[in-house]
Amino acid sequence: MSSVKCGTIASALFFVGFSFAIAQPGKTSLQAQPIGTTTRAQERWAARTLKRLTLEEKIGQMIEVRGIMGYYNADDPAFQQLIADIRKYHLGAVHLSVNTDGPLLLRTDPYEAAMTTNLLQQESHSKVPLIFSVDFERGPSMRLTSIEAFPPAMAFGATRNPAYVEHFAKIVAQESRALGINWNFYPIADVQINPENPIINTRSFGEDPQEVSSMVTAYIRGSHEGGMLTTLKHFPGHGDTDTDSHLNLARVNAPLERLNAVELPPFKAGIQAGSDAVMIAHVAFPALEPDPTKIATTSRNVVSGLLREQLGFKGVIVSDAMEMKGLTKIYPEGGGNAAGRAAVDTVKAGQDLLELPSDLDGTYNGLLQAVKSGEISRTQLDASVRRLLLVKAKAGLDARGRHLVDLNKIQNSVGKPSSYALAQEVADHAVTLVRDDNHMLPFHRNDPTPFLVVIFVSDAHGDDGRVLEREIRSRIQGATVIYVDRRSAALEAEGIAALASKAQHVIAAVYSVSQPGPAEVAATSASGLAAQGSAGILRNILDTAGDRTVVLALGSPYSILNFPFIRTYLCTYSWVPTSERSAAKALFGEIPIHGKLPVTLPGIAKRGEGIEREAVTSANAVTNQ
């Protein structure tokens, strides 16, 4: 479910060489076709292929491991291990990501991504082509360079324009398919109703089930138009949790009536729109599953009863990452095969594909023994594998010789200027002015009075804030800009206090990013600054210069809840460079401000509110755009 998933090096993919990765002469390169309902030809292919598979090969089709996109030597032991795993366990799917440095994703080049998928298809030696999935929630730019940076889902929610979502989804699909990637674990259908939610937050389109349903439907439509498979997540809803399921057991204690009214409608809409898969959350739902030893992942009531039978979903049911603590803490190691037991329980609940097992060998052998003993019926096994083969067929992996991509076509498909323009348009339209009590905005370009810009980030030496700083300096050349993180806060506090008391204008930019991992890795939590030193600096700024301060929420809009006396508050719902540019343009009146809150800020503003402002300055006059 996350943009960062921890894993062992044995699950990493390492690229081996250009000569192996290019589509071979005489073979037709994989061409993406729109995704539609399954055809009779695809059903016949799935039936024929299923008959050809051994029991061991069927088990392998149900397991997905991680692959890392990038270049490494052919003799690297981690690369050799991944290839060996794919062949030994007959694996059917690889979830592609990139290496990480703490919470940071170390992005790679689109060509390396494409060469990676080609190489793995060639090296797998499987009867059935591999299918490649990704978490491209904000598009390929999350993990690849030279691609437009779209903001998170909540920014789309602030525009109230499903057409943006559909266009975005089609772009993501076309770019992904050009790289050999078939399946996006998206859209997020979670309804964000808990301000303390540390992991969904801006990844959700908002708090209104109908608006989320509209956006989810638009995303599926656009993704299918571009030829990419979709996955609704995280069923039956992760929006009302205050725990990150990557780290611990999360729970939704709502009654059945609330689940039917809030959590479930977007999933119903997505199923009706034809989503190819649904991902199950590692979350407990007592109203749906009274057994305290089970979460949604292992609950037959949730997976088979609610999703498969009551809602009539016929596609692939995918687990969230099996390595996440929200699941593994229920199956502690104690001399037995904990990963195997978790896998068996997950499949018995009704799931078809197990994503990122914590122990590949234990998972594979656990499932194999369960089928041989009859604990998992061969009828159920065949039904799951058939569904997996059908999605492969829908992605074009049923045709002989169409499994590789043409590197020569990437330049025509990835990172188009029109895609950059759409990303900027969405970010511009998402900007929401929640408060401007003192009528501070817009600022005037080349204002000679003292400007202080304090940028609260998780890492003062990272990328966050750099584009914002450049954009502000292009308009106010004499601005003083200071970065604050949890390590520097104590050192910066006194100097910032002195500067704030003298500044005519103060801009406090709060980067609040919802991502998995310990709270201390982020500059802010869902509702405010996590690091006490940073919170103290912002509080002091507001106490001494609150009537001269604009607070920018670059990420979660909930930061104001810990500082309700903020006088001027502007939300972008996003920290990507595109949104940093939008924030600067909005501050100086270069774009109209029409965004509306997709969520309620309790005690501050209601969903749907937002102050309207027209542009007063031409953005064309500003450099560095």
- Whole-angstrom distance, CA of residue 350 vs CA of residue 61: 15
CA diameter of the chain: 79
DSSP per position, 461-481: TSSTTHHHHHHHHTT-TT-EE
Pairing of strands 131-134, 183-184: parallel
Closest CA to 192 of 135, 259, 238, 243: 238
Q: Quick one: tokens of 301? A: 């009531």
**Computed over its alpha carbons, how large is the radius of gyration of the chain?**
24
Upstream peptide bond of 518 is cis (omega within 30 degrees of 0): no
User: Residue 533: is it exposed, middle or buried by C-beta count within 10 angstroms (0-12/13-18/19+)?
Assistant: middle
- Please give the backbone phi and psi of residue 456, each rounded to the nearest 5 degrees, phi first: -95, 115
Residues with Cβ within 8 Å of 70's Cβ and at least 6 positions away in sequence, in order, are: 13, 14, 15, 98, 99, 108, 112, 116
Give, in order, the Cα–Cα distances in Å from 231 to each of 186, 196, 545, 551.
5, 25, 47, 36
User: What CA–CA distances, in Å, run from 354 to 152, 247, 273, 575, 608?
Assistant: 26, 19, 24, 32, 39
CA separation for the pair 259, 530 (Å, rounded): 30
Give me the active site residues, please.
246, 320
* Other Cβ atoms closer than 10 A to 447: 15
Q: d(Cα 209, Cα 285) in Å, to the nearest integer?
A: 19
Question: SS3 of 105, please?
Answer: strand
- Say which amino acid occupies 150: F
Do residues 280 and 313 lie in contact, with contact meaning Cβ atoms separated by under 8 Å?
no
How far is Cα 520 from Cα 295, in angstroms, rounded to an integer?
A: 27
* Of residues 301, 194, 188, the one with CA closest to residue 235: 188
Measured CA to CA in angstroms, residue 90 lies from 59, 124, 301, 307, 376 at distances of: 8, 8, 30, 28, 19
Q: Which two tokens stand for residue 521?
A: 């890795």
Which one-letter amino acid corresponds to residue 214? S
Alpha helices in 125-181 (DSSP H): 153-159, 162-178
